[in-house]
Structure 1
């Protein structure tokens, strides 16, 4: 029987040291120590402050006459409080992040593996993609449950950059068994992952799966006997995943599924916008117009998307010039949604005239994608605090493809990503038409109070301003708004049928100025489908 060994464990952080000596039996042993950091610099998500990190070094050595080299672990950790507030309220059930006592609107996208080939999962590639998220004013990414638990590089970089991570467990869109052997395997996997990742301040919550609850309504066997499959689902989700995560990482939220109305609630969160997190796919999969985004007000929308063709350099990487056609075999092979190309074309003809060539088609598909996601995000942000998060599908691509991503496979930006940089800005003008009324709302997440000036103009397609002859006089309507953090202001509204021109004869231009922080931005709103307008060739 081996004798107990005396182990010396030393911990170092912020110029402090703590040492513990302990007799340890053979096998696993727990050695604990407490260290206090007075008034630590807090870790904040991007846009809210410094993502402050501290170097923690722990070494362990055996006290013997000829001790071996100590085993050393170095981690960078952050101090912050984080709660997922999901409470019953007058609407249904809220869903929002509270970080260091401050409500945070989650702005971001869904993350999928950085490449189809593992050899290309390099730190440099991951950092390039994450930098693009930061440059578009994102503060949150959802690691999708149909992908993988990401590398240490990914989480370390998110810690450094202040990117919150919604971490799905790796179960997605399927019916999973609840046999003892399978659940035992799951328990070992999730135990290893929670122990590996729980020290990262970027992890905002653990989620049991992606759409595994909804999958019960998709397959013939489960539709015939849903109760049986709900039992299997619950044994996996709550019986194993929830129990392990709550035991090993008790200070973090475990959310059962995405989408979900909340614990022990098995209702439809694809069409209900009152509870928990929502996946809204009625525009893409059901063919509804972009205005359908204005018919729902999610508490938190963790998936919604619209496809576009990638940039020409991406097309050229897999298709010869003679196949630069949306119906060509090469392009169909790089489209993995069965009706994807048809949906792009059908929707494009709803809003635009037929493009004259492939380059024009490609460009308009990206314009269309940007308009779709902008329509959703601007409106949902303008419903804050009812809605407190939008994560569109998806940020990146695993291969060169026609897809929902805002970044091309090589990491370059589609038009959507440029638009995301604008619609995720801390101070935003949201323009939309709902129930026949034009709305201009100002959304502010700025931590400081400011005076904002908003100028609204109606302009015809020759570039000439048109007088808006209601209560206001002259071609420019000016409003000065005192803005505060996490507030939405209704700046201006007007029924579209009270305009002094037809909807197809002009567009609305709104300019936002906040001089003290050097902010100047302009937004435009078409008053009808662009195809109905007499656009002038510049």
Structure 2
């Protein structure tokens, strides 16, 4: 490919024609994509999901890999050239023509490098040297001034709390531990003159039948000068001449839409969307937005404090589930695959999904799909079930950059309903002997992290609320959100983890239950895809490998035996486990819906699976509906009698 300045009206896509090698194996690398998928496509490794293959592939994450792309470039002329990576997973060194551009270690950050002095006329060689994520995590833990505990029951690969990476890549109680590495988003090259548009923050102010859009353009200026800013939506335009000075800056545009068509969650109205066209200098972008108000109501009442969402002035009981990454192999998590899962959620009458904090911030198209389908998104920041090294200034500074970028990036999507600080990190303060022995130290470190998140949200002023943690009884309250059903959101796991009867769900009346669930086996069709006939026994090693919650298979079988006659065949056992799961969720959700308006939402754990496994999901790996998902169409019906 030959690149000339006058060819570029927008960013040049450098996402094609990548290869990757560790010195022994060399294969093509799709972008976005990952090394495991590249090796699998080339026939160099076995399917990681087959039987107990997983640990035989640890050499991949233990190795260093270099991804390379070559492109031809013609003399650049005036302006500043920026090379951008939407996501690098995770610890890597970036070189252009042998020159080190930088070292990165945050998969959730867009990385921008100014490369004008490094580009050459003719062939250019771009390299990303991936260091071993597992080795880097261990080294950082060893270098820490004191231990920072992680969830050993979940993470087969240790210390991933030191990395800004999809935490469940190290394993979880439903996930395989592959620790994939690769490029998780597009790679682009673009030329800027006076200033470069970096991020856009969109806010809505609804008043008297009209909506004012407040649009902040975050830029980097390379010289003093004037830049034209322009925004258009629904035929309304705003323009400004912006005086810029070298460094980072912000320009604000405002425009008003008369007689707006409001966006509603599925089942409550339509989902009209508007194109918001934005330009700063020669940089242009379009955001697909919807117009709505979303409020989180946490007023004190006679019980404690409510927890309810109000959309466009209407309080809505949120029906939904928790979302985890669509596949443990990132290259398989395509738009088509994800859309299938989200459509299944809507077909089961869901109005909200929670993007869980041990996973990842999803790509823009994920939120566009949710907005088009009317699925609201409770968005966690990416922290879960471990303690984190917020005592490290460099680590915390990276997190602050991350959350600023993500808040701005997602600000225009009407599906966004909430920013939540973390998943179960307050609870984790009581899980580990180190934290129990010195609670003050670890609570102070947690408070640093949580305050940084709250301050980032306050600074950005998105038009959705911030909630400190899940579960939580409220702001600056570090008490027990697990068993308090009078305030805030609740995670209720006594039935599964304590092996209690399904009727125990009726012992609490949460204000909003954002996690609860019961496991089942996947279908016999899915089991046949990862087993040999000799493996098809709930006590076999392979079935245990495909069960990541300690004692999970036994708990499924023991609970099933309380409600139905014990089956004679394995195939009947797997089917009846799905009956048992469905009865559990039906019992909980129908009772909690009957508690409205005290209870104003249920998000069961979990919607989807990342690989073929026994789990709490209602959609098994591949997107097939388990029995509980069919039952959800009834217990999540808009009207339940």
TM-score calculated relative to the size of structure 1: 0.76
Deviates more, 1:297-306 or 1:226-235: 226-235
Q: 1: CA distance between counterparts of 2:238 and 2:397?
A: 38
Kindly report which structure 2 residues correspond to 1:116-515, keeping only aligned pairs within 5 A, or say none: 116-179=328-391, 180-238=393-451, 240-429=452-641
- Per the alignment, in what secondary structure is the counterpart of residue 302 of structure 2? coil
- Per the alignment, in what secondary structure is the counterpart of residue 591 of structure 2? helix
Kindly report which structure 2 residues correspond to 1:89-108, keeping only aligned pairs within 5 A, or say none: 89-108=301-320
Deviates more, 1:301-310 or 1:313-322: 313-322
1:46 corresponds in structure 2 to 266
Q: 1: CA distance between counterparts of 2:621 and 2:301?
A: 42
2:161 corresponds in structure 1 to none
Q: 1: CA distance between counterparts of 2:254 and 2:401?
A: 29
**1:317 CA displacement:** 0.8
**1:111 CA displacement:** 0.2
Is contact 2:407–2:462 with CA below 8 Å preserved after alignment?
Answer: no
Is contact 1:45–1:139 with CA below 8 Å preserved after alignment?
Answer: yes
Q: 2: CA distance between counterparts of 1:268 and 1:4?
A: 53
Is contact 2:276–2:289 with CA below 8 Å preserved after alignment?
Answer: yes
1:18 corresponds in structure 2 to 238
Larger relative contact order, structure 1 or 2 (CA cutoff 8 Å, min sep 6):
2
2:73 corresponds in structure 1 to none
* Matching of residue 5 in structure 1 with residue 218 in structure 2: no
Is contact 1:77–1:200 with CA below 8 Å preserved after alignment?
Answer: yes
Q: 2: CA distance between counterparts of 1:284 and 1:188?
A: 38
- Per the alignment, in what secondary structure is the counterpart of residue 428 of structure 1? coil
1:113 corresponds in structure 2 to 325
Residues 13-61 of structure 1, C-alpha deviations (whole Å, 9 max, x = no match): 1123333223333443433222111110011111100122111111233
**1:423 CA displacement:** 0.6
Between the two proteins, the alignment pairs up a number of residues equal to: 420
Of 276, 283, 305 in structure 2, the residue corresponding to residue 56 of structure 1 is 276
Moved over 6 A (4+): none
Is contact 1:280–1:301 with CA below 8 Å preserved after alignment?
Answer: yes
* Matching of residue 82 in structure 1 with residue 294 in structure 2: yes
| Counterparts in 2 of 1:412 and 1:207: CA distance versus 1, 3 Å | same
**1:144 CA displacement:** 0.6
User: Which of structures 1 and 2 has the bigger CA Rg?
Assistant: 1
Deviates more, 1:390-399 or 1:173-182: 173-182
- Per the alignment, in what secondary structure is the counterpart of residue 171 of structure 1? coil
Q: 2: CA distance between counterparts of 1:128 and 1:260?
A: 32
- Per the alignment, in what secondary structure is the counterpart of residue 37 of structure 1? strand
Is contact 1:198–1:249 with CA below 8 Å preserved after alignment?
Answer: no
Is contact 1:107–1:139 with CA below 8 Å preserved after alignment?
Answer: yes
Q: 2: CA distance between counterparts of 1:86 and 1:318?
A: 46
Is contact 2:227–2:242 with CA below 8 Å preserved after alignment?
Answer: yes
1:30 corresponds in structure 2 to 250
2:113 corresponds in structure 1 to none
Q: 1: CA distance between counterparts of 2:307 and 2:562?
A: 34
Residues 308-335 of structure 1, C-alpha deviations (whole Å, 9 max, x = no match): 0001111011011222111111111100
Q: 1: CA distance between counterparts of 2:376 and 2:532?
A: 40
Is contact 2:293–2:463 with CA below 8 Å preserved after alignment?
Answer: no
Q: 1: CA distance between counterparts of 2:441 and 2:560?
A: 43
- Per the alignment, in what secondary structure is the counterpart of residue 241 of structure 1? helix
Residues 386-430 of structure 1, C-alpha deviations (whole Å, 9 max, x = no match): 00000000000010101000001000100010011111111112x
| Structure 1 runs not aligned, ≥5 long | 62-69, 430-538
**1:250 CA displacement:** 4.4
Kindly report which structure 2 residues correspond to 1:516-531, keeping only aligned pairs within 5 A, or say none: none
Residues 197-224 of structure 1, C-alpha deviations (whole Å, 9 max, x = no match): 1221111111111000000111111112
Residues 125-182 of structure 1, C-alpha deviations (whole Å, 9 max, x = no match): 1111100000000010001111111111111111111111111111111111232222
Q: 2: CA distance between counterparts of 1:37 and 1:428?
A: 37
Q: 1: CA distance between counterparts of 2:224 and 2:320?
A: 51
Q: 2: CA distance between counterparts of 1:167 and 1:20?
A: 33
- Per the alignment, in what secondary structure is the counterpart of residue 425 of structure 2? coil
Is contact 1:302–1:390 with CA below 8 Å preserved after alignment?
Answer: yes
Q: 2: CA distance between counterparts of 1:394 and 1:280?
A: 13
Q: 1: CA distance between counterparts of 2:513 and 2:477?
A: 17
Q: 2: CA distance between counterparts of 1:60 and 1:247?
A: 22
**1:71 CA displacement:** 2.0
- Per the alignment, in what secondary structure is the counterpart of residue 422 of structure 1? helix
- Per the alignment, in what secondary structure is the counterpart of residue 200 of structure 1? coil
Residues 79-136 of structure 1, C-alpha deviations (whole Å, 9 max, x = no match): 1111100121110111000111000111000000000011112111111110000000
**1:195 CA displacement:** 1.5
TM-score calculated relative to the size of structure 2: 0.64
**1:3 CA displacement:** 6.1
